[in-house]
Amino acid sequence: MDIATKLLHTGAETDPYTGAVSVPIYQVSTFDQKEELSEYEYSRSGNPTRAALESIIAQLEGGVAGFAFSSGMAAIAAVTLLFGNGDHILAPKDVYGGTYRILSKACGRWGISYNFIDTTDFEQIVQAVQPNTKAILLESPSNPLLKVSDLPKICAWAKERGLITIVDNTFMTPYLQRPIEFGADIVVHSATKFLGGHSDVVAGLAVAGTKELANQIGFLQNTLGGILGPQDSWLIMRGIKTLKVRMDFAQQGALKIAQALAKHPKVKHVFYPGLPDDPGHMLLKSQADGFGAVLSFELQTPDLARQLMTKVKYPAVAVSLGGVESILSYPATMSHASVPPQERSALGISDALLRLSVGLESPDDLLEDLFAVLE
């Protein structure tokens, strides 16, 4: 079945109890068990609306089971706690700021150590592995520099060594990229972004590629308790139904805007793997079905970046991405504020860098808006 059809028909989109074509919001905390033990007993452990979303994301990603959390970070935190005292995790240097924070500021409390490396450089991964390394976390394309890592190669190599690969698939979504097909063990999402798609819900998802990992993540979801509520689960399911049309339109706009910005004299560099001369272009083309709707660009001066943020008309100037409205972000003080300034600039995240999540406005109007400020 083509992914376009699968986004609407996984078998979990219809309510099994009533046949309703939109699974109802089972706004309930507990389930009466007088007669016989029902499938559900308490909504932290399981809720029919959440279960429908969990089944849908598992099937879209090609995994064994899905788990819905109250935020992307709650999903990432639960997955991190699959590891414990003495374990070591590798992650990209330019990983999302919240993931950087959990690894660098919280994992030490549980005895988990980490190293940040450039995961686009396969040799660096090989060199960084320690005897106690248990997992490699990947983000491809990365945030905010849109760097592409070789997922099939890394996953295959990790599998041979018994390492678990965790891929944050937020930027691509299963519509464009399905890491489990390449051998990844776990996929995580900030469903707040393209899956929800309307900037109206904070949610996280994890998908396990094996039964054993599914049991462990399920245990942690119930134990830690950071579950997604039924109303928010319903909103994410509704978002998924229009994912294809939103993503198709937004990524066409992203390409047009990236091409135009790349020619502008006040733009130093555009980071977008959809551009044929981007270093990640060919690799992303080989492992994904599109280039996504997020691009970053570095202006000639930080002052120009600040002016753009205050004067731009259409995009929201905000954290987050993947909404129907375009969102302009300033990584230095937003998504990557928890990365120390020297490390940020070593990574190439300068104070003149802006990230644009292209929404569903006309790309021509967005360009006119951006160019008016730049000029």
> Could you list the active site residues?
44, 96, 168, 193
- In whole angstroms, how close is the CB of 170 to ligand PLP at the nearest point? 4
Please pick, from the candidates 26, 67, 83, 96, the single residue that binds ligand PLP as defined by CB under 6 A.
Answer: 96
Closest CA relative to residue 73, chosen from 51, 97, 56, 92: 97
Site track for ligand PLP across 193-232, x = CB under 6 A: ---------x-x----------------------------
Please pick, from the candidates 43, 59, 71, 133, the single residue that binds ligand PLP as defined by CB under 6 A.
Answer: 71
User: Is residue 173 within the footprint of ligand PLP (CB under 6 A)?
Assistant: no
Part in contact with ligand PLP (CB under 6 A); list of ranges 35-43, 65-73, 103-111, 175-183:
65-73
Q: 139 vs 369, which CB is nearer to ligand PLP?
A: 139
User: Is residue 190 within the footprint of ligand PLP (CB under 6 A)?
Assistant: yes
**Directed axis angle between helix 243-262 and helix 230-241, to 10°?**
70
Number of residues in contact with ligand PLP, rule: CB under 6 A?
A: 14
Q: 155 vs 327, which CB is nearer to ligand PLP?
A: 327
Part in contact with ligand PLP (CB under 6 A); list of ranges 40-48, 68-76, 216-224, 234-242:
68-76
The residues, ordered by sequence, that sit 6+ positions from 136 with a Cβ below 8 Å of its Cβ are: 89, 90, 91, 119, 125, 154, 158, 163, 164, 165, 166
Closest CA relative to residue 66, chosen from 189, 194, 234: 189
Of residues 137-156, those binding ligand PLP (CB under 6 A) = 139, 143
- In whole angstroms, how close is the CB of 90 to ligand PLP at the nearest point? 17
Part in contact with ligand PLP (CB under 6 A); list of ranges 70-78, 127-135, 206-214, 343-351:
70-78
Q: 63 vs 72, which CB is nearer to ligand PLP?
A: 72
- In whole angstroms, how close is the CB of 17 to ligand PLP at the nearest point? 30
Q: 70 vs 242, which CB is nearer to ligand PLP?
A: 70
User: Is residue 337 within the footprint of ligand PLP (CB under 6 A)?
Assistant: no
Q: What residues line the site for ligand PLP (CB under 6 A)?
A: 71-73, 96, 98, 139, 143, 168, 170, 190, 192, 202, 204, 335
